[in-house]
Copies of this chain bind each other. A is one copy, B any other.
Amino acid sequence: MDEADLIARYFAPLAGPGGLGLRDDAALVAPPAGAEIVLTADALVAGVHFFAGDPPEAIAAKALAVNLSDLAAKAADPLGFLLTIALPGDWTPQWLEVFAKGLGDLARESRCPLLGGDTVATPGPLTLSITALGSVPAGRMIRRAGAKPGDRLYVSGTIGDAALGLALRRAELEGAPAPPWVDALDAAQKAHLVRRYLVPEPRLALTPALRACASAAMDVSDGLAGDLSALLRASGVGARVDLREAPLSPAAAAALRADPGLFEILFSSGDDYEILCAAAPEQAVRFEALAGGAVTAIGEVGPASAGAVFLGPDGDKLNFARDRYSHF
């Protein structure tokens, strides 16, 4: 199968009108009148960002979801995406078919069609790079910079699930020792954590709430504490955050009860793909209503001079040994 056949068979069915059937040199997008274009790109490498043996539909969905998560954090409406895929020599049509199905399912669900890309061979691991485009009304992209003293801080969904899911996958796939908290979880809880690691859920449903109310936002991809510190630095402010208020899934809460040493890990590990944002206090009621219960207040922005203070399990100030995960 040559590259043109492969594209026609697996990727062209995913293309939106702007993809021109993936038969031209480029894609063509007509931005909505008065809109600005929001652009983000993330690369994922087998063995670094996912396990080569992960389900192909999950690998595909993750590659797209981490980009959609950035669009969601900027309150952008998806317009489409481009994918470059470097395939190792041992790829099979079966693998690619399931990969394309996973990609297409999330693309349809998030109204973010494939626009173009490139398929190449690699002697190395499977490597994916996605660039996603969104649109915002001019001047309305939510930045990292913009949080002001007095703003409330919110986070969507639950934090720390993916870190625990990764530990479970390591034990399963790489023979790493089973984590000490594993016996405290039932099968459904373990499956929940693994699913949260495998397939992030981009929080695009928050876009109206963020656009209406947020003063600053970013997605939590490298650990809540480190990412929040980045948002505060960009905004030139400090904050007091009570991590006991941070939202945990029942599975993560059970793991934490079994192993209190997890506390710091939950808030400093990668792959949450939740939205962290700030909103002025007078916007709080409206924001929470528009968000429909999908966010949790975790603290308040203060002056830069007060620094970034995280309260730990005993209500005392927590000093992270390492507040952020790095894939690099």
* Contacting residues, chain B, for A120 (C-beta < 8 A): 43-45, 48-49, 327-328
A76 interface residue, CB < 8 Å from B? yes
The answer to whether A28 and B24 touch (CB under 8 A), given A47-B123, A328-B121, is no
Contacting pair B129 A118 (CB below 8 A): yes
- Contact-size category for A: 35 or more
Q: Which residue of the partner chain, among B35, B38, B82, B121, contacts A131 with CB atoms under 8 Å?
A: B82
The answer to whether A24 and B143 touch (CB under 8 A), given A2-B326, A82-B41, is yes
Task: Kindly supply a per-residue 1/0 record for chain A positions 42-75, scoring 1 wherever the CB is within 8 Å of any chain B CB and 0 otherwise.
Answer: 1111011100000000000000000000110110
A218 interface residue, CB < 8 Å from B? yes
Residues of A within 8 A of B (CB): 2-3, 6, 20, 23-31, 35-45, 47-49, 70-71, 73-74, 76, 82-87, 115-125, 127, 129, 131, 133-134, 136, 138, 141, 143-145, 218-219, 234, 326-328
Known pairs A3-B327, A27-B38, A124-B124; list 10 more (Cβ under 8 Å): A24-B234, A26-B71, A26-B74, A39-B115, A40-B82, A43-B84, A43-B85, A43-B120, A82-B131, A122-B127
14 A–B pairs (Cβ distance < 8 Å), ordered by A? A24-B143, A25-B74, A26-B39, A27-B38, A30-B37, A39-B116, A39-B133, A41-B118, A48-B121, A49-B120, A120-B328, A124-B124, A127-B127, A131-B131
